[in-house]
C-alpha cells in the first residue's frame, strides 16, 4: 500500500517535513539528529540509489513502509556527538615536578627532625 | 583472605619464582663463560664479554621461563556478565592509507558475524580514517556507502576522516573519544588487518561487564591468511607456541596486563580519563608523539587502578601479519622506534612496578640484537688483544700450560642452545600430550613442523638480528621512521627487492668470514652459522617470500595450523566479500 503524500513541509524552519524527520530518527534510534544533519544525509550526492524509490518520492512520504525502512537504513548519518574529556598526562615531567613528592616529604620531616629546644620558648633573662 | 589478595600474592610469588630461575640460569651461564674466557688470561675485553653474555643469557632465560609458566599455570575461568550486555560498544577500525577493498571486506565479515547475535543492536561500527592520500580517501568513501547500503547499516556504521593525522593512531582514537566516546560504554579497537568473530566480541563484553574494575581486556589474535613460506612459518609458530607464551605472560602480569593495540575491548570512560598522553618534549625519534602507545596506555590504566588483562582463551580473534622478512623488518623498524622512545617514560610518575617491567621488556626486545652483535664482535677481537700465554711464571722450572676449557665451553654452548630450543620443545610435547596435535596435522605434523621451524628460524635469526641492529642504530642516530604503509598483497618479493634490502648483510657476512679466516682462524667454524646466512640473505629473504613454496608446504602437510583444517567462518565471509567487491 502506498503511503499518503507528505504535505507537512512548513513545520520545520529548515524545510524538512517534521514527520519525515521523526520517522528517520525513530528508525535509526537517533533522537539527537538535527534537521540540518538529516537534510545533509538526504543530499542527492549521498542519497542511496535504489530502484524502488527516488529522493523526491521519499521526501514526499511515498513508497511502501518496507521500502522506506530499507532506504532510511541506508542513510549515512554522522556518529553521535557525545564527547568525553580526555586530559593529557605528562609522562616525562621536569625533574622538579617529579621530585616534588620527595621535596614535600622532606619539608614535612624537617621540623620534626630539628632539635626540640628550638621549639621551646626562650625564658627571659633577668637583666 | 579475600580472593583479590590471594590472587595478588600468587602473582607476586610467580614473579619472584620467575626472577629467581632466570637469575640462577644467568649466573650459571656467566660463570661457565667466565671460566672459558679466562683460560688464556683475563683482560678488560673479557669483562665486557661476560657482561654482554649475562644480559643476553638473562633475556633468553626470561623467555624460557614465560614458556614454562605457560605450561605450569593454565588460566582461570573468568567471571561472565549477562548473556545480553547492558552497555553499548563501538567497534573501531582506525585506518591509514590502507588497501581499501580488504579493509572493508574484513569489516563486512565482522558486521555479518555481529549481526547474527541477539545483542546486535548494542554494537556500532566506526571507520576512523586518517588517510592522507585523496584517491584512497575517495575509494574509502565509496566503499563505505556501498557497505552501508548493502548491510542497511544506517545509524550503526559511521565513517569519518581526519585530514591531519595528529597523534597518529592514538590521536585517531582520542579524536573518536572526544567527539563520540560518551555514547558508548566500551570500545573494541581493531587494526586494519584485524578480524573478529561476533561471539568472541560478545564474550569479551560479558567479561568486561562482570568485572567493574576491568578496564581493558586483550584477546590473543591468531595469525591467518598468509601463503608465503615465511608467513606459514610464522603462522605455525604463533599457533603452536603463542597460546602458551601468552598464558605464561598472563600468569605473571596480574592486574597489569598487556595491550597490543588491537583486538582488545576497552572501557571508554576509563580510557578517556587515564590515557591522554601529552607529546614528549623534543623532536622524534625520542620526542614528539608517543608511537607505540599501546604499552603506555596499559600502564596508564593500571596506574589509575584499572585492571588490564590478557585472556589467552579468547579464540575467534585474528590478524594478518607481514608475509615476508622485509615487510616484517619494516614493521619492526616502526615498533623499535616506539619501544626505544619508551626509555623516556620508564620513570613516569606513579606507574606500577610491573608496567615498568613491561616497558623495559619492550625496549629490551630490540636491544637484545645489538647486544648479541657486540658480543660476537668482541669475541672476534678478543684473541687479538689477549696477552700471549706465560709458560714460565718463575715459580717452577717446568712450563705451565693453560688449562683447556673445552668441556666447559661445550657445556655453555649446549646450555644456551637448550635455553633457545627447550621452551619450544616443552610446548611441542605439551601439545602432543594434550591432544591438540590434530589441528597441526597430527603428531607427525607437529614433530616435523617443530624440527623444520627450529631449523629455519635458526637460519633466519642472524638476518633478523641485523635488521634489528640497523633499526636500533637508525633510531639512536636520530632518523625518524615515520609510518610507512604496510604492504599487504600476496607478500611475495622480487629477487631485486630482497637484494636491495639485504646487500649490506652480504658485505658484513663476507667481511666477517674473511676477517675470521685471516686473523682468528680458531673461531672460523664457530662464526659460520651466523655469517653464512648473512651471505645468503638475499636468497633466503627471496625464497621465504615465495608463495609457491608456501603452497608447496601446504600440499605436503607441513606447517599445518588448525585454521587450515577447520575453516574460520569470519575469514570465509571476508574472502567472499572481497570477491563480491572485485566483481562489482
The runs of H, that is alpha helices, within A1-127 are 18-28, 35-41, 55-59, 65-72, 95-98, 100-113
Judge contact between B227 and B552, C-beta under 8 A.
no
- Specify the pLDDT at position B454: 95
Q: What structural domains and CATH numbers belong to chain B? A: 3-74+366-379+408-570 (no CATH), 89-283+293-323 (3.90.550.10)
Q: Which stretch, B42-56, B428-442, B444-458, has highest mean pLDDT?
A: B444-458
Count of alpha carbons within 13 Å of B557, Cβ hemisphere only? 11
d(CA B218, CA B188): 10
Q: Is the pLDDT of residue B486 over 60?
A: no
Q: Name the residue among B24, B89, B91 with its Cα closest to residue B58.
A: B24
**Number of C-beta neighbours around residue B582 at 10 A:** 9
Q: Considering only residues 165 to 194 of chain B, which have any Cβ-Cβ distance to chain A shorter than 8 Å?
A: 174, 176-183
Least confident of A14-18, B151-155, B207-211, B225-229: A14-18
Nearest to A81 among B174, B179, B275 (CB): B179
Q: Is the pLDDT of residue B483 over 50?
A: no
> Which grid cell sits at B338?
616506539
Interchain pair B179, A83: CB under 8 A: yes
Q: Name the residue among B467, B483, B488 with its Cα closest to residue B541.
A: B467
> Which grid cell sits at A99?
621530585
**Contacts (Cβ under 8 Å, ≥6 apart) of B208:** B81, B87, B186, B214, B217, B265, B267
Residue B438, chain A, CB below 8 Å: the answer is no
C-alpha Rg value of chain A to the nearest Å: 35
The runs of H, that is alpha helices, within B292-342 are 293-303, 325-341
Sign, Cα dihedral of B568, B574, B578, B583: positive
DSSP 3-state assignment of B187? strand
d(CA B277, CA B342): 13
**Interface probe, candidates B111, B124, B155, B181, chain A, greatest A C-beta count within 10 A:** B155
d(CA B221, CA B262): 9
Nearest to A84 among B155, B182, B296 (CB): B182
**Residue B413 pLDDT class (50, 70, 90 cuts):** confident
User: Which of chain B's residues have a Cβ under 8 Å away from the Cβ of A66?
Assistant: none
d(CA B199, CA A22): 34
> Which grid cell sits at B375?
658480543
Looking at the DSSP bridge assignments, the partners of residue B218 are B264, B310
Please compute the mean of the pLDDT values over residues B499-507 and round it to a whole number. 95
**Interface probe, candidates A70, A76, A104, chain B, greatest B C-beta count within 10 A:** A76
Residue A72, chain B, CB below 8 Å: the answer is yes
- Specify the pLDDT at position B332: 93
**Residue B541 pLDDT class (50, 70, 90 cuts):** very high
**Residue B83 pLDDT class (50, 70, 90 cuts):** confident
User: Which of chain A's residues have a Cβ under 8 Å away from the Cβ of B153?
Assistant: 73
- Specify the pLDDT at position B494: 92
Judge contact between B324 and B228, C-beta under 8 A.
yes
Q: Is the pLDDT of residue B484 over 70?
A: no
Query: What single DSSP character describes residue B277?
Result: B
For residues B224 and A5, which has the higher predicted lDDT (pLDDT)?
Answer: B224
**Residue B559 pLDDT class (50, 70, 90 cuts):** very high
DSSP B199-230: HHHHHHHHHHHH-TTEEEEE--PEE----SHH
**Residue A45 pLDDT class (50, 70, 90 cuts):** low
Q: Is the pLDDT of residue B280 over 70?
A: yes
Interchain pair B160, A85: CB under 8 A: no
Nearest to B155 among A29, A86, A90 (CB): A29
For residues B406 and B441, which has the higher predicted lDDT (pLDDT)?
Answer: B441
User: Do the bridges between strand B214-218 and strand B157-161 make them parallel or antiparallel, or are there none, so unpaired?
Assistant: unpaired
Please compute the mean of the pLDDT values over residues B488-507 and round it to a whole number. 89
Q: Is the pLDDT of residue A111 over 50?
A: yes
d(CA B399, CA B48): 30
Predicted confidence (pLDDT) per residue in B33-65, tens digit: 988 888 777 788 889 999 999 999 999 999 999
**Interface probe, candidates A79, A83, A93, A96, chain B, greatest B C-beta count within 10 A:** A79
d(CA B199, CA B113): 8
Amino acid at each position: 500500500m502506498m503511503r499518503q503524500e507528505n504535505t507537512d513541509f512548513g513545520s520545520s524552519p529548515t524545510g524538512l517535513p517534521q514527520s519525515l524527520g521523526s520517522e528517520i530518527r525513530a528508525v535509526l534510534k537517533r533522537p539527537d539528529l538535527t534537521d540540518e544533519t538529516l537534510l545533509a544525509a538526504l543530499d542527492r550526492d549521498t542519497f542511496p540509489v535504489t530502484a524502488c524509490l527516488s529522493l523526491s518520492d521519499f521526501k514526499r512520504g511515498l513508497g511502501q513502509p518496507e521500502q522506506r525502512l530499507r532506504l532510511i537504513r541506508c542513510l549515512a548519518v554522522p556518529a553521535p556527538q557525545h564527547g568525553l574529556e580526555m586530559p593529557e598526562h605528562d609522562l616525562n615531567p621536569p625533574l622538579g615536578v617529579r621530585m616534588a613528592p620527595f621535596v614535600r616529604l622532606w619539608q614535612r620531616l624537617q621540623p620534626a627532625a630539628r632539635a626540640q629546644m628550638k621549639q621551646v620558648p626562650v625564658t627571659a633573662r633577668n637583666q | 583472605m579475600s580472593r583479590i589478595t590471594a590472587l595478588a600474592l600468587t602473582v607476586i610469588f610467580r614473579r619472584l619464582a620467575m626472577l629467581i630461575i632466570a637469575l640462577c640460569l644467568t649466573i650459571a651461564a656467566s660463570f661457565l663463560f667466565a671460566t672459558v674466557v679466562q683460560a688464556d688470561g683475563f683482560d678488560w675485553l673479557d669483562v665486557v664479554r661476560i657482561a654482554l653474555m649475562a644480559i643476553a643469557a638473562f633475556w633468553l632465560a626470561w623467555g624460557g621461563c614465560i614458556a614454562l609458566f605457560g605450561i605450569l599455570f593454565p588460566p582461570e575461568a573468568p567471571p561472565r556478565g549477562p548473556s545480553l550486555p547492558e552497555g553499548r560498544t563501538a567497534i573501531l577500525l582506525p585506518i591509514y592509507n590502507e588497501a581499501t577493498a580488504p579493509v572493508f571486506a574484513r569489516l563486512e565479515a565482522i558486521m555479518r558475524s555481529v549481526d547474527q547475535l541477539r545483542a546486535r543492536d548494542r554494537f556500532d561500527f566506526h571507520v576512523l580514517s586518517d588517510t592522507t592520500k585523496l584517491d584512497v580517501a575517495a575509494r574509502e568513501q565509496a566503499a563505505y556507502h556501498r557497505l552501508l547500503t548493502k548491510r542497511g547499516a544506517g545509524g550503526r556504521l559511521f565513517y569519518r576522516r581526519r585530514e591531519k593525522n595528529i597523534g597518529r593512531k592514538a590521536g585517531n582514537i582520542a579524536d573518536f573519544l572526544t567527539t563520540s566516546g560518551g555514547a558508548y560504554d566500551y570500545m573494541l579497537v581493531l587494526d586494519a588487518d584485524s578480524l573478529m568473530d561476533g561471539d568472541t566480541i560478545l564474550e569479551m563484553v560479558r567479561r568486561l561487564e562482570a568485572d567493574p574494575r576491568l578496564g581493558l581486556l586483550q584477546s590473543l589474535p591468531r595469525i591467518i591468511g598468509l601463503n608465503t613460506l615465511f608467513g606459514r612459518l610464522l603462522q605455525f609458530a604463533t599457533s603452536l607456541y603463542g597460546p602458551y607464551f601468552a598464558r605464561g605472560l598472563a600468569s605473571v602480569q596480574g592486574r597489569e596486563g598487556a595491550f597490543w593495540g588491537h583486538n582488545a575491548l576497552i572501557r571508554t570512560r576509563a580510557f578517556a580519563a587515564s590515557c591522554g598522553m601529552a607529546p614528549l618534549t623534543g623532536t622524534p625519534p625520542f620526542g614528539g608523539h608517543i608511537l607505540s602507545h599501546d604499552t603506555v596506555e596499559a600502564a596508564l590504566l593500571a596506574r589509575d587502578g584499572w585492571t588490564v588483562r590478557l585472556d589467552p582463551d579468547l579464540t575467534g580473534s585474528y590478524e594478518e601479519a607481514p608475509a615476508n622478512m622485509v615487510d616484517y623488518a619494516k614493521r619492526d623498524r616502526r615498533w623499535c622506534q616506539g619501544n626505544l622512545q619508551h626509555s623516556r617514560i620508564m620513570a613516569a610518575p606513579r606507574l606500577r612496578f610491573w608496567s615498568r617491567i613491561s616497558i623495559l621488556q619492550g625496549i629490551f626486545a630490540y636491544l637484545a640484537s645489538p647486544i648479541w652483535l657486540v658480543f660476537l664482535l668482541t669475541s672476534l677481537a678478543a684473541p687479538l688483544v689477549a696477552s700471549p700465554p706465560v709458560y714460565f711464571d718463575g715459580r717452577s722450572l717446568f712450563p705451565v700450560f693453560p688449562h683447556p676449557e673445552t668441556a666447559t665451553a661445550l657445556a655453555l654452548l649446549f646450555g644456551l642452545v637448550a635455553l633457545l630450543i627447550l621452551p619450544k620443545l616443552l610446548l611441542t610435547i605439551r601439545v602432543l600430550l594434550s591432544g591438540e596435535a590434530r589441528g597441526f596435522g597430527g603428531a607427525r605434523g607437529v614433530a616435523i613442523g617443530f624440527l623444520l621451524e627450529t631449523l629455519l628460524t635458526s637460519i633466519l635469526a642472524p638476518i633478523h638480528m641485523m635488521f634489528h641492529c640497523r633499526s636500533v642504530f637508525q633510531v639512536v642516530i636520530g632518523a625518524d621512521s615515520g609510518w610507512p604503509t604496510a604492504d599487504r598483497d600476496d607478500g611475495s618479493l622480487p629477487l631485486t627487492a630482497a637484494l636491495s634490502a639485504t646487500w649490506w648483510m652480504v658485505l658484513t657476512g663476507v667481511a666477517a668470514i674473511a676477517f675470521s679466516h685471516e686473523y682468528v682462524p680458531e673461531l672460523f667454524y664457530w662464526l659460520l652459522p651466523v655469517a653464512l646466512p648473512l651471505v645468503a640473505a638475499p636468497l633466503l629473504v627471496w625464497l621465504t617470500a615465495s608463495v609457491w613454496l608456501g603452497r608447496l608446504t601446504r600440499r605436503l602437510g607441513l606447517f599445518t595450523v588448525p585454521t587450515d583444517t577447520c575453516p574460520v567462518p569470519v575469514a570465509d565471509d571476508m574472502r567472499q566479500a572481497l570477491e563480491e567487491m572485485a566483481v562489482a
